[in-house]
Amino acid sequence: MIDRYLRRLGLNDDGPPSVEGLFRLQRAHVERVPYENLEIWLDRPTTVDPTESALRIVSGRGGYCFHLNGAFSLLLSRLGYQVTRHIGGVQNTPDEQPGADGNHLVLVVSGLPSADNPEGRWFVDAGLGDAIHEPLPLVEGVYEQGPFRYALRPSEAEPGGWRFEHDPRGCFTGMDFRPEPCEMDAFAAKHEYLSTSPDSGFVRVAALQRRDATGLDKTTGLVLTRIGAGPESSLTLDRPGDYFAALADVFGLTLDDVTAAEREKLWQRLYGAHERWLSRDDPS
């Protein structure tokens, strides 16, 4: 499976762990494996098992943080990297309380010192959607990647842990994570909530995000947006052909595992949600 995973990323096994190799893996993962929650909208239950997530990825799909970082941690470990999983918590708005409530899985890779990171610990994340394109040194500071600026500092809410501050244009404000490693079962209950509760943002809105060196592509419902160095641009994909073409062309999701009947059902759900969203914002 590891060979198939690397082929999905367009990479070969380039030998022992290295800083350069880690950067190649992270970049390829966020560019080729989109952040997406369509399994929820297809009524296909998933788990947080990393092997299950990796098999779905090699078959051409993506996932959200528990899937993407769970599978990525498996890949890194099999390639010889010293990787640990950590409980994180994303805050979507500035008024949300900081802290790690378990709604995010964070990865830390150790044992790879460099000139700007002599301790050799790296914040690695393929599951934050519109956030980092490359690993960040686990060192306090401000970091620029393409058109976005991020910050890392010790967390005030999680003693010994870290705080990631997103770019102001990002889809969330920040994220805290705990210092101690954890196992995947620590995320099972939160995954159940996020994938089934009517109060979950994943259940209310179908979302895809794909990061690259110059910016971000994302869909929120049927609205496709590009965020980069220039002005933000958006387009409403209000025909099924346009929507599924964008999934394939922009996000690399051909949905070969989805039948015609499932596509039609998915489209009807997406279009209905879009119509409800338009009605809510209609002043009449």
From first to last of the 284 residues of the chain, give the pLDDT tens digit: 899 999 999 999 888 999 999 999 999 999 999 999 999 999 999 999 999 999 999 999 999 999 999 999 999 999 999 999 999 999 988 889 999 999 999 999 999 999 999 999 999 999 999 999 999 999 999 999 999 999 999 999 999 999 999 999 888 999 999 999 999 999 999 999 999 999 999 999 999 999 999 999 999 999 999 999 888 899 999 999 999 999 999 999 999 999 999 999 999 999 999 999 888 755 44
pTM metric for this prediction: 0.94
DSSP string, the chain: -HHHHHHHHT----SS--HHHHHHHHHHHHHHS-EE-HHHHTT------HHHHHHHHHTT--B-HHHHHHHHHHHHHHTT-EEEEEEEEEESSTTSPPS--SSEEEEEEES--BTTBTT--EEE-S-SSSS-SS-EESSSEEEEETTEEEEEEE-SSSTT-EEEE--TTSSSSEEEEEEEE--GGGGHHHHHHHHH-TTSHHHH--EEEEEETTEEEEEETTEEEEESSS--EEEE--SHHHHHHHHHHHH----TTS-HHHHHHHHHHHHHHHHHHHHHH---
pLDDT at 229: 83
pLDDT at 281: 56
pLDDT at 195: 96
pLDDT at 13: 87
